[in-house]
Amino acid sequence: MAEETIAHPQPLTVLAEDERIFRESVREFADAQVRPLVREMDEHAKIPRALIDQLFDLGVMAIEIPEAYGGTGAAFFHSVLAVEEFSRVDPSVGVLVDVQNTLVVNALLRWGNDDIKRRFLTKLASGTVGAYALSEAGSGSDAFALATRAREDGADYVLTGRKLWITNGNEADIFLVFATIDPGAGYRGITAFVVERGTPGFTVGKKEDKLGIRASSTCELLFEDCRVPRGNVLGEAGKGYKAAIETLNEGRIGIGAQMIGLARGALEHAIRYTKERRQFGKPVAEFQAVQHQLARAAVEVEAATLTVYNAARLRDAGRPFLTEAAICKIYSSEVAERVASLAVNLFGGYGFVKDYPVEKLYRDAKIGQIYEGTSNLQLQTIAKQLLT
C-alpha cells in the first residue's frame, strides 16, 4: 500500500506560535521527503546521505546550537517536537535527530569549554553527525562498569577498549566516548572524550542487524591505542559520570518523543484503514468494538504526550525533571508498543506483511523499553524518588 500524507489526531497540548510553526514545517518535510523512503530505508538498513544533508539544511540537526556556532538557537522542546514528528513517519530518522540533539549537542553545550564548543559545535551544525558512546558488553544497565581504559601519555590520553550498540555509528564523524582513567576509583574515574573519525587507533566496527529501527545504524567502536589530545576531554577528567547521568536524563525525554511519535503514526494508519476496510457490508470503523479500541489508544497517546511535554518543559525551565523523564520514558514506550500492536490487529492479515506500514512500527516500538535505560531502571528511578 502506498504511503501518503494522512489526516491525524492533533495533540491537545497548547503550543506557542513558534513551536506550532516549527512542528508544521517538520511534519511537512517528514511527509514529503521521508515517507516515500521508509520502506527502502528499512529494507536496506540505511538512511541515505542525501536525506541527512536535507535534515541539516532544515536545521533540525542543530536545534539548540547557538546561532554563533551556526545553529538555530532554539529550545530543547523544539528538539522534542522534531523527534516526535519524524518518528511519526519513521522512528529511525527520529532517533538520528534525537541522538544528535538531546545527547551529543546537549553534552557539548553543558560540559564543553569555549575551545571544544568552537571546534565541534560548528561542525555539528554544518553537516557532521554525532554519536554517544557509553555502552559496552559488560556495562549496559550498569552503565559505569566500563572496561574501556584511558591512560595519560604526555599531552594525550590513549584509549583502549570496545563500545557496543552505538547509535549513529556509521554516519557519525564526532563521537563522545566514555572511558575510565582509574578502574579502582569506580565511577569517579570515568572521563568523557571527544573523538573524531579518522583518529589513528579508532575504527567503527560491526553494524548490528536489528529487529527494528533498522535504518538507524547501531555499531561497535574499537579503540586500539587511540591517541586523543588532552584538549578533547569534555569537562574534567574523572567527572565524566556527571556528564553521562545528566545527558541521559535528557536523552530519555527524547526517546519518549520518539515513542509518542511512533504511537501517533500507528494510530493514524489504524484510523485511516478502518475507515477504508469493509466487512459485513460496512466500514470496520463503524463497529463499536473497533471505535472503543481506537478511542482507548487515543487516550493513551494523549496521556503519554503530556508526560513527555511536561518533562521537556521542566527541563527548559531549569527545574528538576529526573522523575518526570523516567515516567515519560517508560510510559510512552509501553503505549507505543500497545498502539502499534493494535494497529497490526486492526489491519488483520495485511498488518502482518511488509506491504503495509504498521508491522514496521510494531518492530520499531520494542527498542523504546530497552535503550537509554531499560524499563526496570526507570521504575527503580521512580521508586527511589518516591521513597526518598
Residues identified as active-site:
372
Dihedral sign from CA coordinates of 166, 126, 44, 30? positive
**53 three-class SS:** helix
- For Cα atoms 237, 243, 245, give the angle at the middle one, nearest 5 degrees: 130
From its phi and psi, is residue 213 left (phi > 0), alpha (psi between -120 and 50) or beta? left
Q: Which residue shows C-alpha cell 559545535?
A: 121
3-state secondary structure of 67: helix
What is the spatial distance between Cα 240 and Cα 179, in angstroms, rounded to a whole number? 8
Calpha distance 107→122 (Å, rounded): 14
Q: What's the rounded Cα separation, in Å, for the pair 60 and 12?
A: 23
Distance CA 111, CA 117 (A): 9
Distance from C-alpha of 148 to C-alpha of 176, rounded to nearest angstrom: 13
16-41: b (≥16 Cβ within 10 Å) or e: eeebeebbeebbebbbebbbebbbeb
Q: Are 189 and 200 in contact (CB under 8 A)?
A: no
CB 275 within 8 A of CB 283: yes
